[in-house]
Amino acid sequence: MSDLMDTYLEGCSPYISKLNYDIDKRILTMVCVKNANDNVPHTKVTFTGVRAYSEETMDDEFDDHCIDGVVGMNWVKEKVFCIHTDKKEIIIEIENEPTSEKIV
């Protein structure tokens, strides 16, 4: 089980500015910023064909001033992907390979 942060977040910080699951379109979108200081969106990772979605909150203490960050991204098994952040663990079953694109 190898970490894929360098693959999907190359040249980007792990800090998340947007994390949205659209249940109707079966798409999970995660946008990370270049750095935590300026909070400018840099990279968007899209997971399409979501067949199952679950998340578990790891941090019960809510701090609105603390930006969530990706700790790890990896395949758990075929078609099942895990996104582990400072605050939660998201497990998704997906039909397609995730895509990553720079935001200009």
| Residue 61 pLDDT level (bands cut at 50, 70, 90) | low
Q: Model pTM greater than 0.85?
A: yes
Given a cut of 90, whether residue 102 has pLDDT beyond it is yes
Residue whose tokens read 């909150």: 57
User: Is the Cα dihedral 75, 93, 82, 42 positive or negative?
Assistant: positive
d(CA 15, CA 70): 6
Question: Are the CB atoms for 57 and 88 separated by under 8 Å?
Answer: yes
- What pLDDT, in 10s, does the model give residues 11-48? 999 999 999 999 999 999 999 999 888 889 999 999 99
d(CA 38, CA 64): 17
Question: Are the CB atoms for 82 and 72 separated by under 8 Å?
Answer: yes
